[in-house]
Amino acid sequence: MQVRCEPDAEVGSATLVTVAGLVDAVGATELWDATLPCIVAARPSVLVDMSGVDVLTSAGITTLIRFLNQSKPLGGKLALFGCRPSVGKVFRIVGLESLLGVVGTAQEARAKVR
């Protein structure tokens, strides 16, 4: 799995996290470890580009919920975008689209966290 974490160019209070590969138990730990320092570094809102995620397991969902729980007390929000159909289906099945801010595009995600 690959994770890139950087300040979002359009929303100064947001961290843009780009994820690719398999987000299973191992990948979820890597995702958390790579992203947590960015959230704490004065960018509490989190935008997650899911376009490169092939598979998302319950461990990955738990990590995304942890992002939400970490960012909320700091005044941040969470938005996910670019989900492949199979990954988007997981969010629909478990009923977390609204809670996790799942949207189609980066612009929609940025609008959610502003």
What are 92-103's pLDDT values in tens digits? 999 999 999 999
State the residue range of the domain holding 43.
Answer: 2-113
Please state whether beta strands 102-103 and 14-23 pair in parallel, antiparallel, or not at all (unpaired). Answer: unpaired
Contact in structure between 21 and 2 (CB atoms under 8 Å) = yes
What amino acid is encoded at 15 in this protein?
A: T
Domains held by the chain: number: 1
The CATH number linked to 77 is 3.30.750.24
Residue 18 has pLDDT above 70, yes or no: yes
Cβ-based neighbours of 31, under 8 Å, separated by 6 or more: 1, 3, 17, 19, 23, 60, 63
Of the pLDDT bands very low, low, confident and very high (cuts 50, 70, 90), residue 13 is confident
